[in-house]
Amino acid sequence: MIADNNFLLEAGRQTLMLELQEASQLPDRLGDDFIKAAEAIINCKGKLIVSGIGKSGHIGKKLAATFASTGTPAFFVHPAEALHGDLGMVESQDVMLFISYSGGAKELDLIIPRLEEKSVVLLAMTGKSHSPLGLAAKAVLDISVEREACPMRLAPTSSTVNTLMMGDALAMAVMQARGFNEEDFARSHPAGALGARLLNKVHHLMRRDTEVPQVSIHASIMDAMLELSRTGLGLVAVCDEQLQVKGVFTDGDLRRWLVGGGALADNVSLAMTVNGTTLNAQSRAIDAKEQLMKKKISAAPVVDDHGQLVGAINLQNFYQAGIL
């Protein structure tokens, strides 16, 4: 049978409305058990082990990854694998978050006693608080639903949404309690866009050595012009004998000087922009880029904490590093 478009749209909307209706009840369920679960994870001296079977297991893998990337050492263990050796990875200082809507997974009959032997704190995410899982757990997170969004009321739909949302709520609460911030997150994602934005410093991206356009304060405008042409950066740092940047000579400065009737043999200090913009080598790359954008300039010399020239950078260097 080929369904018409209206049927497909209505079926999709009904699914979403049912799942949203069930999920809307979750905030009112957060109470003492949620606090106990969060505190158990925050105070955990070992790792958070997440476990579950079927759809719960798929959600559990995602939640373990979320915890791991937000400051809580965590990994997922499949219950069947746990019973065939992986329980050896679980130690007394660990916390286990077991996800099972029914709370009666057969694997729990063997897992729960082993956890009790090791004094491992057990947290439950279940729809049946009086199940074997719920009764054995230190804290129970209620993910129960009145009905699944599946028209046959069989396929886990509303319940998996509740599981995901409850897990995210727990992870975000723990993350904020730890004071986990953007830079901490970036360290867990060094290859991502956020990592590029927050971890890179100016000295990681800047041009160095012979790629840095510079002339002495005693140089002529002709010298500065040749240095402009050599490096193609659009500016030249004008420095004294101690490499202190005294000014910046740009393509615009050159044009203005020549249009005004100036000579190429004149000293560069007459045409340069005195105390032009410089960037600190230790500053965050994203902040440096914003500084250039705000001042509507495309490049700047880079100095160290003592004001000495150590490099140069332009907007293209930021873009190449993924800082957009």
Largest CA distance in the chain: 92
Higher-confidence position of 4 and 162: 162
Residue recorded with tokens 């050595």: 209
- Classify domain 5-180 by CATH architecture: 3-Layer(aba) Sandwich (3.40)
Q: How far apart are CA 28 and CA 18, in angstroms?
A: 18
**Mean pLDDT highest for which of 80-84, 192-196, 197-201, 221-225?**
221-225
Structure tokens at 121: 């704190």
Q: Say what the pTM is.
A: 0.70
For the segment 241-262, the average pLDDT, to the nearest whole number, is 92
* CB count in 10 Å sphere of residue 198: 21
Asked whether the beta carbons of 272 and 248 are under 8 A apart, the reply is: yes
Q: How far apart are CA 202 and CA 281, in angstroms?
A: 5
CA-wise closest residue to 25 among 154, 164, 167, 144: 144
pLDDT at 153: 86
pLDDT at 324: 73
- 202-320 CATH, one of 3.10.580.10, 1.10.3720.10, 3.90.226.10, 3.30.420.140: 3.10.580.10
For the segment 269-278, the average pLDDT, to the nearest whole number, is 90
Structure tokens at 220: 């002529």
Domain ranges of the chain: 5-180, 202-320
pLDDT at 195: 60
